[in-house]
Structure 1
Amino acid sequence: MDQPKSEVTAKCGNPWCKTASSDQLSLCAACKQARYCSKPCQKEDWRNHKLFCKHVTSNGASSASLDPIQYYQKIAPYDPKAKSLASDIGLALPGPNDAFPGFTMPMRRLVVTGKDTPENTSLLFGQNRAGPLDECHKDARLEALLRPPPGSPMYVMAKSMGYDENCPPWTPREPSATEAQKIKEIRDMQETIRRHMGSRGVSNITNDDMRDILVSNFGNRWSVVMKVYQDALNAMDQGVGL
């Protein structure tokens, strides 16, 4: 191990180290980023550190094939840029023994803080972002732009899961033209639902109401707009409590 040029009072990079802190930490000779208080600690942490170490020494080439789950759990928690980004958006990155928490929380934090750029997404999830991660991003963008009110299923779900605990203020990016059109369709559907329900209120909506709304307003196209109806209803105050 190479000695760092300056002494740093910090924890050893081995999460199982029994030493609280040390002012004589040594750098991993390969990646020059992880610090350890002793050779035994470095050896004990190698199984956990090796993917990130190879990621650094290969300039990202070794991690290019990792799926987003592996990257989020094995690379992002040790990457200084990813850790800085996580701190900015109030996100706790997973520890070595933590189960994968799902894409929703980290993606939601990127979206609501307006930091969901391709570069930032790659810092947390790597380059292989197609599939579920793209869908998660679309869903998070939709919810952030809709800003569901208290009493709506979307709001209550996020609240119950703690998605917005310790979250910075919401500053999502402005909608694209495609997103703006989708939001308009949902808002129009919400108004259609309100008109149909009248004095009964949205909290009393039933499956019969759903069928009447869709068939009466969209005829044979009712199945095409089902997703719009579901998004619209889930983003409306229905008096749902925690």
Structure 2
Amino acid sequence: MAILELEGVTRVVPIPDDEPLHILRGVDLLVDAGEHVSIVGRSGSGKSTLLNILGLLDEPSGGRLVFDGVPVERMSAAARDKRRGREVGFIFQQFNLLPGRTAAENVATPLLYAEPARFWRRRRLALQMLDRVGLADRADGLPSRLSGGEQQRVAIARALVRGPRVILADEPTGALDVDTGRAVMELLDGVAHDTGAALVTITHDPDIAALADRRYRLDGGVLHPVAAEALR
């Protein structure tokens, strides 16, 4: 079953006293439950714009997005915000951890806005997720005392603690060494497979992109499927 479905999605930005900027031009994409899709492309090709649309941060100028069976055009702004907070996990190259909070407190942050059952269990859930990413022994460590790889795993745990239906990773291994980056992607693949989440990764790294079930290149606002061997 497709969790994300894009049909002819466009994104056009008006430019004062100039021609409109066409960022996305008729993008079609399906991502099923438990599937990993990677997207590569040059800087400025529209990858982040596409990720923002998939994550319900931006609306397309045209076309259609169906999110877990619900057409986005039928959602109110409040419904989009609620669904994004509950069902989308964002992972970025910059970890964006709160410097004065421990690893466990950082991971528990999204649960401050969760339903009461999860709100009152937020530390336990955070500790369980830190254990899953191999950081149970670093739960009380501050970000300044963690390595880059550990900080990224904390950020991943924070993104996954609410059990999102969609995981969106924007250059998640860009600040990591090769071995740590591969371990991070194996973790994300495992979580997506185990929970039935859709995983979409944007990356410049052809080796990381090749790990996905399906791969695409975004060029000139158009999304093209690409074989793993063609990435190199």
State the TM-score, normalized to the length of structure 2: 0.23
Q: Which has the higher helix share?
A: 1
> Which structure is higher in RCO with an 8 Å CA cutoff and minimum separation 6?
2
Q: Which has the higher strand share?
A: 2
Based on CA coordinates, which of the two structures has the bigger radius of gyration? 1
State the TM-score, normalized to the length of structure 1: 0.23
